[in-house]
């Protein structure tokens, strides 16, 4: 029984695919939607929504990612700590200068289904 389990893990490992994506001159939304499709394994013929998936996505040149229109100065990220009046606001430009990888991971996370597989799928997104 243990041997069968190990062989199945080896089988899954052999069919894992790594997608190397260059983010240079790509739009944030279009790139995030493509990554979300890959992380869900929707590009495979044996797609099953209840499974985590096997493919990993490796994104390079994240600092050369672009955003269309005037969103670079107008886009805002909100978070709230709970008590009244504690709404935190961060502009896209400030967040992008500090951590451009967070912006892509946040956008991909919002495009994935909101269920227990979401965190496991996001772990397979590697930003270099």
Mean pLDDT of the chain: 90
Tens-place pLDDT, residues 5-32: 455 555 555 567 899 999 999 999 999 9
What is the rounded average pLDDT of the residues 43-71? 93
List, in order of start, the domains of the chain with CATH numbers.
18-67+101-127 (3.90.1180.10)
Query: In the structure encoding, which two tokens stand for residue 9, read together?
Result: 């893990």
- For residue 1, pLDDT beyond 50: no
Long-range Cβ contact pairs of 108-114 (< 8 A, separation 24 or more): 108/32, 108/35, 108/36, 108/39, 111/32, 111/33, 111/36, 112/36, 112/39, 112/40, 113/40, 113/49
Query: Which of the residue ranges 2-11, 73-82, 119-128 would you say has the lowest mean pLDDT?
Result: 2-11
């Amino acid at each position: 029984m243990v041997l069968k389990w190990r062989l199945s893990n080896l089988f899954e490992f052999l069919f894992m695919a790594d997608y190397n994506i260059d983010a240079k001159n790509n739009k944030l939304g279009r790139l995030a939607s493509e990554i979300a499709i890959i992380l869900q394994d929707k590009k495979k013929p044996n797609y099953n929504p209840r499974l985590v998936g096997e493919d990993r996505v490796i994104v390079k040149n994240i600092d050369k990612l672009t955003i269309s229109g005037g969103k670079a100065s107008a886009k805002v990220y909100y978070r709230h700590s709970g008590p009244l009046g504690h709404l935190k606001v961060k502009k896209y430009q400030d967040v992008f200068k500090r951590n451009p990888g967070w912006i892509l991971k946040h956008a991909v996370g919002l495009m994935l289904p909101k269920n227990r597989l979401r965190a496991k799928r996001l772990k397979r997104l590697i930003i270099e």
